[in-house]
Amino acid sequence: MSLNITQNTAVAVAIHNVSKQFGSKRAVDGVSFTLQQGSITAILGPNGAGKTTILSMMLGLLEPDAGTVEVLGGSPKDLKVRRRIGAMLQEVSVMDSLKAGEILELIRGYYPKPMEMAEVMQLTGLNQEDLSKRATKMSGGQKRKLSFALALAGNPDLLFFDEPTVGLDTTARRLFWSTVRSLAAQGKSILFTTHYLQEADDNADRIVLFKDGRIAADGSPAEIKARLSRKSLSFQCRSGTAANIIARLEAVPDVTGLQQEQGRLHVYTNNTDLVLSIIFKEELPVHDIQMDQGSLDEAFEQLTARKEEVV
């Protein structure tokens, strides 16, 4: 992999035209983006979208088939770079024979400038009692906190979290996100993957939405929401007229999707006024018109829907 080192110190991660194939499955397909230092970025997407694969390449755990991955100005495999990265992955595997505190001390010992133990405990909510337990005796939530503590142990500049809040209760979740925000305020860069649109909306400066190994949308939560929350309207078509109405509305550039469900035709558009004016001016044979705003979750489903699900 040849690296074109970016001199711009404000860039924490630069991904250029990266692809990764597993057998016949193209898990990541020509993806490019950069992450700014001090930013909190969410990678969002349905199961199998390629989130973990791209994260693994940023961590140097997987090699891209094509393209370049530059992290903190170098290769993610460089020791100098690795020492400045912390990661919390989905699977937590720790040394069962050691107590949590001993594991943490061991890992801190690998770094030239580790985070103070007191700060690790304060940021993660781990207490002395938790640290005196063997990892095998810890609850799922405590293990998650230990994993967070291990990610922070080296006082990294760049943190990767793969679905970090799975298994955390509400209080632990709140603490986690307030810690993440304070870390970003210190200038650390954070990238996390999640399935929860609300968490991304509440905590990220930027959302990169993955679908089928590609970026389907990229922007601030407000920008993404504006796109996700595209409005829809629905109506019933007079018997035998649906095909003609679909053909007419498909020809309208502002119509981004059409879906038939339980006898109603749903029209997705950023310009509901235009669609309504066409219906009335052209006296399309429809009745029982409804305007639907749709929830964020529904809208996310629309953006990541497979083509065959849309008429």
Residue 52 makes contact with ligand ATP by CB under 6 A: yes
Size of the site for ligand ATP (CB under 6 A): 11
Per CB under 6 A, the list member of 27, 208, 215, 275 interacting with ligand ATP is 27
Residue 164 makes contact with ligand ATP by CB under 6 A: no
Per CB under 6 A, the list member of 5, 8, 17, 22 interacting with ligand ATP is 22
SS (H, E, C) 163-176: CCCCCCCHHHHHHH
DSSP string, the chain: --------TTEEEEEEEEEEEETTEEEEEEEEEEEETT-EEEEE-STTSSHHHHHHHHTTSS--SEEEEEETTB-TTSHHHHTTEEEE-SS----TTSBHHHHHHHHHTTSSSPPPHHHHHHHHT--HHHHTSBGGGS-HHHHHHHHHHHHHTT--SEEEEESTTTT--HHHHHHHHHHHHHHHHTT-EEEEEES-HHHHHHH-SEEEEEETTEEEEEE-HHHHHHHHT-EEEEEEEPTT-HHHHHHHHHT-TTEEEEEEETTEEEEEES-HHHHHHHHHHTT-SEEEEEEE---HHHHHHHHH--GGG--
Nearest CB to ligand ATP, comparing residues 130 and 162? 162
State in angstroms the smallest separation of the CB of 207 from ligand ATP: 14
Residue 48 makes contact with ligand ATP by CB under 6 A: yes
Residue 151 makes contact with ligand ATP by CB under 6 A: no
Residue 209 makes contact with ligand ATP by CB under 6 A: no
Nearest CB to ligand ATP, comparing residues 62 and 100? 62
User: Near ligand ATP by CB under 6 A, which window of 49-57, 139-147, 176-184, 266-274?
Assistant: 49-57
Residue 219 makes contact with ligand ATP by CB under 6 A: no
In angstroms, what CA-CA distances link 27 with 3, 71, 211, 297? Answer: 22, 20, 10, 24
Residue 63 makes contact with ligand ATP by CB under 6 A: no
State in angstroms the smallest separation of the CB of 28 from ligand ATP: 7
Per CB under 6 A, the list member of 39, 42, 44, 45 interacting with ligand ATP is 45
Nearest CB to ligand ATP, comparing residues 56 and 189? 56
User: Near ligand ATP by CB under 6 A, which window of 45-53, 113-121, 172-180, 256-264?
Assistant: 45-53
Residue 25 makes contact with ligand ATP by CB under 6 A: yes
Residue 51 makes contact with ligand ATP by CB under 6 A: yes
State in angstroms the smallest separation of the CB of 195 from ligand ATP: 6
Residue 74 makes contact with ligand ATP by CB under 6 A: no
Evaluate whether 183 touches 124 at the Cβ level (below 8 Å). Answer: no
Per CB under 6 A, the list member of 7, 9, 47, 239 interacting with ligand ATP is 47
Q: Across the strands, what pairs with 231?
A: 269
Residue 197 makes contact with ligand ATP by CB under 6 A: no
State in angstroms the smallest separation of the CB of 60 from ligand ATP: 15
| Interacting residues toward ligand ATP by CB under 6 A | 22, 25, 27, 45, 47-53
